[in-house]
Chain A
């Protein structure tokens, strides 16, 4: 194996033999750049020595932990090499990997030991991109030995060369072992006439929030939310399971299906996702199955699940799709078209969580996002700093960071603002982040407003965003309130922020309108009022 890794992880070591696909009875020798930092399942380890120009010998390094004292002259030489290596790394700096890789390649092309190693081997493998040049040069020196581009190809190159290999049971690289996955018990719902399940997305904690709203505000109703999780969970759920369980635990799937059908009277299916488990079934298939079992079913869209890119781009100048990989946009198009079609065929109620989505699901009713106004309230004065803080959380390309970052960076370079780019902040700390900012830029691209904008408004900050006129009109019409988000697009964002910095009173007034608006529209009362007719129908 040829490798330019500087460190070898436990996982690398653990998966080494499996990745080769040659069975367990294989002897491995490694030609590397740096001695191993941990015990590896190899018989020999050699390192190239970049310090000795022009002749670059390779020396053997001990296949043991770094702290183990060397026991032979050769081992002492390897230790010396490590010392030189580390010194070299310190001195040369950031391009050390390219230079070191170059030296590795020269060693492979000129030194005796790499050639001997290649002649010894039945197959040689380049373990990473930067080892590939060295591997190619060595392949030309020793053409009788096949050189594979990656470990997983070692078996193939041997078979292509006509080498008979023992059959080995093939196993997937990543095995979902459910023994390690803790499965929460299915919750029992209160014995009310109306029992609602909202599943399986809980984006931005909304499903759980709506369930709480029903529990607290709809007489004779109880609600749960359920989440199928493939990532760390940031929000509360009544029940959440790991995706591996949702997809492949047959017993759990069977029990969950029976639990849902026997426990609930109403199911709200989110984002076009199936709720009984992953597979080929769509949300509409599970909806019909539930309806056949006597349950009332509605579907709800959150955002990109129904925001069809081709339609959005045709109607919205600042649609974000040019900044996204075409294959991703294509996948979004297919999915959104599918979910819209399913919602159109559902014999039941449809909801959308933001007014902008009515463009795609016109038969739906807006189910307002719900937040805890108290949690987001901030007593920090707004726009009192000499240099205000402007926060922007680029959680996705759809927020338009390519438009927003340059403007905020420029204003910061002029000393006018402090730009707080919010990344990798735990959900629990976001009230503090928004609550201590002056201005929050929400997004430019989706032409709508969602949970993040509501949170910033509840915190009493100035919220700047691009919201389509049609959305503002819809909000005014349905709530009687003007949406207190300061309008900006890529062309006007800089001027808008400069204006807010210049006219602090106007900015404070915009900020002050936020908590009142959120309290009226997004504290849960409006959501309960929207859900109740459906629950009682």
Chain B
């Protein structure tokens, strides 16, 4: 492909992603996979992300993830301020000390003035400046910006406005729409709604993690519906659990019981109490479950009233062989999955909720019990998974029946069915989600370069 300057320059994509390795947040895997996939596709890739110290100090860091970034990807780190998390007083000014709450309030207000996103808005000018510098060094042909935070998308909108570079908004979740309450948090006319509209209207494509969210945006921006696509998350092959192709050992012989497992963040939004209510009932009804245990792995906070309540629930549930094991790193997760016989899929209510862990769950080939409201987006993903046990509601009776059925399936399901589960999951391997989007990118880049060369010829 020839550039406007006549050289055969490799198409250059700028990828803006706040949470990039070594960030340890769950969203980092989409960013990592996208950047690597772009480089695999033959693009020259520059990533703009936050500085390492932001992740080391604030979100937690997994430095091993940095080794997974392809060597030919250029990473530009733009310092990110996070004053609410600056715990070291050496970094404070005396002004701040005089009234920390007021100082922070003023900082947040200034942040929102810059860009209407709490905590992240102040990053906007720095990343636009960094992007301009990148473009001045090596012309950019396409910008892809991954939210959250949504401030990342200012780069695409700015470079499009100033230089006519096409950009893609990988919005993932919704912004003006609250996916948990199904209410519009930021109606038309608010700064957030205006910013979102500017992104969508100027973008070449908009990506969302599931169809319900895409549909909501398509309905609210009908003139731009044609450029809205679903680009799902998926499980990452390199971190995927080893599939359980066989039944647990000891089938047909009296055994201790099964291990029901959950992996993921445990928040007040998931139906933990309901799951335990059902667990008690299931153990009363089923001798198999009466000798089974449940393990919960994942991060659980300690400070809010709701989190204290979750801890108390776990405390109470120990009498019924429920164990909270704490957080688990991505590199140990395969081992944890290896110890499970049945998976408990707890998820928040909301028709827009898919929950990233569902893909990993399916990759195990294990029976999955859905402990969530029936009408969530994850249902579209689980549909067709042979060992999916979905109760009609979260009442103890219905959910306990699903648990018992899943437990029995764990003992009786043969390898053929398990293989069918694994085959169903394979379509959700992350790189497969990017095949169609990547194919479209070449066209976008080519059209941009042609328009640039026409402009140059004039």
Contacts and interface: CB of A to CB of B under 8 A. Distances in A.
Interface of A: 126, 129, 132-133, 135-137, 139-140, 143, 146-150, 152-153, 156-157, 160, 170-176, 178, 244, 247-251, 253-254, 257, 276-281, 285, 288-289, 292, 330, 333-334, 337-338
A136 B92 contact: yes
A277 B280 CA distance: 15
Contacts of B307: 172
Contacts of A250: 276-277, 280, 313, 316-317, 319-320
Most chain B CB within a 10 A radius of its CB, from A135, A174, A333: A174
A137 B87 CA distance: 15
Contacts of B89: 126, 132, 135-136, 139, 147-149
Contact of B394 (A150, A254, A280): A280
Contacts of B56: 160
Contacts of A248: 273, 309, 312-313, 315-316
A178 B396 CA distance: 23
23 contacts: A136-B90, A136-B92, A149-B87, A149-B88, A149-B92, A157-B87, A171-B302, A171-B311, A172-B311, A176-B308, A248-B273, A248-B313, A250-B277, A251-B316, A254-B277, A254-B280, A278-B273, A279-B273, A280-B271, A285-B393, A285-B394, A333-B183, A337-B183
A15 to B, nearest CB: 13
Contact of B90 (A129, A140, A176, A285): A140
A160 B88 contact: yes
B426 to A, nearest CB: 32
Interface stretch (B93-101, B245-253, B332-340, B404-412): B93-101
A147 B86 CA distance: 11
Interface in B313-345: 313, 315-317, 319-320
A338 B86 CA distance: 37
B64 interface: no
A146 B92 CA distance: 12
B272 to A, nearest CB: 7
Nearest to A280: B271
Nearest to B273: A279
Main secondary structure on chain B at its contact with chain A?
helix
Interface residues of B, number: 44
Contacts of B94: 133, 136-137
Nearest to B397: A289
A132 B281 contact: no
A280 B274 contact: yes
B316 A249 contact: yes
Contacts of B185: 330
A25 B90 CA distance: 26
A288 B393 contact: yes
Given A174-B308, A176-B312, A248-B312, A280 B270 contact: yes
Candidate in A147, A150, A173, A279 with the most chain B CB atoms within 10 angstroms: A279
B55 to A, nearest CB: 11
Interface string B160-193: 0000000000000000000001010100000000
Contacts of A160: 56-57, 87-88
Residue from A143, A288, A334, A337 whose CB has the most chain B CB atoms within 10 Å: A334
Contacts of A152: 303
B269 interface: yes
Contacts of B311: 171-172, 175
Contacts of B312: 172, 175-176, 178, 244, 247-248
A396 to B, nearest CB: 20
A174 B302 CA distance: 9
B133 interface: no
A156 B183 contact: no
Contacts of B271: 279-281
Nearest to A135: B89
Interface in B91-148: 92, 94, 97-98, 100
Which of B57, B89, B274, B316 neighbours the largest number of chain A CB atoms within 10 Å of its CB? B89
Nearest to B348: A280
A132 B308 CA distance: 28
A45 B195 CA distance: 54
A254 B284 CA distance: 11
B293 interface: no
A58 B88 CA distance: 24
B90 A147 contact: yes
Interface string B58-91: 0000000000000000000000000000111110
A139 B309 contact: no
Contact of A132 (B97, B269, B303): B97
Contacts of A147: 88-90
Contacts of A148: 87-89
A109 to B, nearest CB: 10
Contact of A173 (B98, B277, B302): B302
**6 nearest interchain CB pairs?**
A279-B273, A153-B87, A280-B271, A147-B89, A176-B312, A248-B312
Contact of B273 (A150, A247, A288): A247
B349 interface: yes
Given A247-B309, A280-B394, A136 B87 contact: no
Contact of B309 (A278, A285, A337, A338): A278
B269 A280 contact: yes
Which of B276, B312, B348, B396 has the most CB atoms of chain A within a 10 A radius of its CB?
B312
Nearest to A292: B395
A277 B90 contact: no
Nearest to B317: A250
A172 B311 CA distance: 7
A285 B269 contact: no
Given A147-B89, A173-B308, A281 B394 contact: yes
